[in-house]
Structure 1
């Protein structure tokens, strides 16, 4: 008799381990600060701000409040940004059926009257994870994706359908294998015009490694873009990450837990092919960044 199958990851989380390893904790594009607090009544507040290294005169930020009712499977989120965008999200889970979740996300720009609304349905069961999205004001466009899994093997697909035009506007597919120590994923994206392969390996409890290769059949310059990286835990409160791509750009990130709930991250990017130039030009030769995250809970 076969073992019970776990719920597979969603479409957007296929290859997540590799994407997180190569994409997160490299704060090289400016400075950001995030403060998050939680109350005993299940209300959390989050304030975030960021300053881009290329435009020091602009500071972007937002304030967010989230209420969670775990007993009834309800989550209500309201946010307001410095761009004067109002975002609202309502989530309801396990109401009509176990594993079924509804999500309504809206945004409104009062100055221009621009608005958007995305209604999402998610259904999760052992061996199955499927989602359906309806973009009410754009198209309207209906998008659905499904991932099925068995014994570590994963198969997923995604497609978008424009209701007004009556045609499929986008389709993608993916296959992969996931185990506790490693994961491998192959994506066919952009109507199967772009192919991406990624792998993740937890070498030991303190060391992780991963890589990602992308081949775009429509690119003007032929070839495969390759990126490899690693993460090393120095101790229980600090880790360092490094990655390099086939263009010779090296990125390094360092994250330190200063105290419970307070983390600081630093990043640095170097173009290793231009280190000997006195006055380097072109893409960012040296870029530095800082991110501080504070979380306060009762």
Structure 2
């Protein structure tokens, strides 16, 4: 399925990741371990101001089956069982949370050489239904998504988008928020070694309000990445990420609001360990 279009959720994802991924202004620690038997263990801790939350998750792979179980600090247990290639190009996942007995959900993904379809249904008497589809190929894709709540008999979302992808750049145009907002994004890898720039613009049709965010990513060396971000709201952010050992990273983030002179800058530190 190498020529299949990416799922609808991937439209505009590259630019969004450059502008938002790994930016965090809290203190986060992640420890991941993977055994030769296919059993993985991940522990995560997050301190935000004076609040500390954490979770422990285990991931087990056996053939085409993946079982993921997560327990957080509030004693909530989340379980997800994924079956790959149930039929050619089809993936099925069932997830639920304890003690929330209404959280059960069944997800089905189907990849065709010219289409990608994702569907989701809640496993309860009044389920929430979602369907997303994209058609095209790796270079050009057109898609949309809808969400329907059977309890209120109303649509919770309906969005559409189109994207054009090239090895050096990607462009996406989306109509979101039930047709009330237009979002355009662009990402381009420059001839400079390891430098990528991205921009995102949002226009709200109801209020005629515009907003934009621009950012860049530069590989200082094979192990160190510097990212910057600026928005029309006057917020400037930077991120420095260094892989100090194989698959282990330390990330430093900072943000300052130029329009709020009495607000102190925000700082974040993230540490990810993979022995």
TM-score relative to the length of structure 1: 0.87
Partner deviation per Cα, 1:182-239 (whole Å, 9 max, x = no partner): 11111111211111110111113410000101122345xx421100000000001101
Closer, same or farther: CA 81–292 of 1 in aligned 2, 3 Å: same
Aligned residue pair count: 274
Matches within 5 A, 1:200-279: 200-204=187-191, 205-219=193-207, 222-274=208-260, 277=261
* Cα separation, 2, equivalents of 1:77 and 1:270: 38
1:50 equivalent to 2:38? Answer: no
* Cα separation, 2, equivalents of 1:124 and 1:93: 12
Closer, same or farther: CA 163–179 of 1 in aligned 2, 3 Å: same
Counterpart of 1:103?
Answer: 93
Counterpart of 2:61?
Answer: 68
Closer, same or farther: CA 261–223 of 1 in aligned 2, 3 Å: same
1:190 equivalent to 2:177? Answer: yes
Partner deviation per Cα, 1:45-94 (whole Å, 9 max, x = no partner): 00000001xx32x210000000012x3x1100111000211000000011
Deviation of 1:262 after TM superposition, in Å, equals 1.6
* Cα separation, 2, equivalents of 1:49 and 1:151: 37
Deviation of 1:272 after TM superposition, in Å, equals 2.4
Closer, same or farther: CA 250–147 of 1 in aligned 2, 3 Å: same
Deviation of 1:137 after TM superposition, in Å, equals 3.4
1:21 equivalent to 2:18? Answer: yes
Following TM superposition, the consecutive aligned residue runs of length 4 or more in structure 1 with deviations greater than 6 angstroms are none
User: In 2, are the aligned partners of 1:231 and 1:242 still within 8 Å (CA)?
Assistant: yes
User: In 2, are the aligned partners of 1:85 and 1:108 still within 8 Å (CA)?
Assistant: yes
* Cα separation, 2, equivalents of 1:173 and 1:260: 39
* Cα separation, 2, equivalents of 1:157 and 1:138: 26
* Cα separation, 2, equivalents of 1:214 and 1:203: 24
Deviation of 1:16 after TM superposition, in Å, equals 1.1
Q: Secondary structure at the match of 2:16?
A: helix
> For 2:76, which of 85, 92, 113 is the aligned residue?
85
Deviation of 1:133 after TM superposition, in Å, equals 0.4
Counterpart of 2:29?
Answer: 33
* Cα separation, 1, equivalents of 2:118 and 2:219: 35
TM-score relative to the length of structure 2: 0.94
User: In 2, are the aligned partners of 1:5 and 1:127 still within 8 Å (CA)?
Assistant: no
Counterpart of 1:292?
Answer: 271
Q: Unmatched 5+ residue regions in structure 2?
A: none
Deviation of 1:114 after TM superposition, in Å, equals 5.3
Closer, same or farther: CA 67–23 of 1 in aligned 2, 3 Å: same
Partner deviation per Cα, 1:227-281 (whole Å, 9 max, x = no partner): 000000000110100000001110000001111132100001012235xx4xx14
* Cα separation, 2, equivalents of 1:118 and 1:216: 32
